Amino acid sequence: MTDWTGPAEPLDRDLLPVSGESVGDPGAKGVVYVVDASCYFKEYLEPVDDASPLDELIGWRRSLPQSERDFLDEHCAWPLRRVHRDGRTTGFLMTPAPDVFWADMLGERHTVELQHLIHTAAAKRLGLDVPDRSERLRLVRDLAALFALFDTHHMVYGDISEKNVLWTVRGTPRVYLIDCDNARPADSPHAGSVMARNEGWRDPLLGPDDRPDIDSDRFALAVFFYRVFYGVTASVDQDQGRILLPDDAPHLPELEELLGAGLGLVRPRPSAARWLAAVAAQRRPPPATVAAAPPEADGSRRRVFAVTAAGVLVAAAMAVPLIVGQTHRDTTPTSASSDMISPAPPSPPSPSPSPSPVSLGRKEAMAQWAAGPVKMRVDHYNSWVYWPEKGDDEEPASWAQLRISLTNRGDAGLVLSDATGRLLLVTNAEPEVPSALVTVVELPGLNAGQELYGVPFQDLLTFTYGGEKQDVAWKGEQVDPGATFTADSPDGNGVSYELTPPTADPGDDQDVTPASLHIVGVAWVDETGEVQGFTPVSAWTGPNTTDSFLAK
Is a pLDDT exceeding 50 seen at residue 454? Answer: yes
Interval 76-108: pLDDT, tens: 999 999 999 998 999 999 999 999 999 999 888
Instruction: Give residue 409's pLDDT band: very low, low, confident or very high (50, 70, 90).
Output: very high
Which pLDDT score, from 0 to 100, does residue 269 have? 93
The tens digit of pLDDT for each residue in 363-373 reads: 889 999 999 99
pLDDT single digits (tens) 240-276: 677 888 888 888 989 999 999 999 888 999 999 999 9
The residue type of 543 is P
Per-residue pLDDT, averaged over 344-362, amounts to 47
The beta-strand segments (E) located in 204-335 are 242-245, 304-305, 308-309, 312-313, 322-325
Residue range 386-402, pLDDT digits in tens: 877 776 667 788 889 99
Q: Would you place residue 290 in the very low, low, confident or very high pLDDT band (cuts 50, 70, 90)?
A: very low
Looking at the predicted structure, is the pLDDT value of residue 475 above 50? yes
Distances in Å between the Cα of 535 and the Cα atoms of 37, 65, 369, 493, 521 are 43, 32, 8, 18, 6
Closest CA to 445 of 349, 522, 366, 376: 366
Would you call 243 exposed, middle or buried from its count of C-beta atoms within 10 A (0-12, 13-18, 19+)?
Answer: buried
Give yes or no for a contact between 396 and 506, defined as CB atoms under 8 angstroms apart.
yes
Q: Answer whether residue 471 shows pLDDT above 50.
A: yes
pLDDT, mean of residues 538-547? 88
Q: How confident is the model at residue 380 (pLDDT cuts 50, 70, 90)?
A: very high
pLDDT at 304 over 60: no
Q: How far, in Å, are 103, 134, 165, 291 from residue 131 at the CA level?
A: 14, 8, 16, 30
Show the beta-strand stretches assigned E in 466-530.
Answer: 468-473, 478-479, 484-486, 495-499, 510-511, 519-525
Q: Could you give phi then psi for residue 443, rounded to 5 degrees? A: -70, 140
Report percent pLDDT > 90 for the chain: 38
Report whether pLDDT(318) > 70.
no
Q: Give the pairing of strands 397-408 and 484-486.
A: antiparallel
Q: What is the pLDDT of residues 124-165, one digit of tens each?
A: 888 898 899 989 999 999 999 999 999 999 999 998 989 899
Tell me which amino acid residue 498 is: E
Instruction: Find out whether the peptide bond into 189 is cis, omega within 30 degrees of 0.
Output: no
- Which pLDDT belongs to residue 89? 94
Check residue 81 and give its pLDDT: 94
The stretches of 265-400 forming alpha helices (DSSP H) are: 272-281, 362-370
**Nearest one of 109, 327, 118, 381 to 229, comparing CA atoms:** 118
- Check whether 294 has a pLDDT greater than 50: no
pLDDT at 383 over 60: yes
Dihedral angle at the C-alpha atoms of 360, 362, 367, 373, nearest 10 degrees?
Answer: 70
Of residues 37 and 167, more confidence is placed in 167
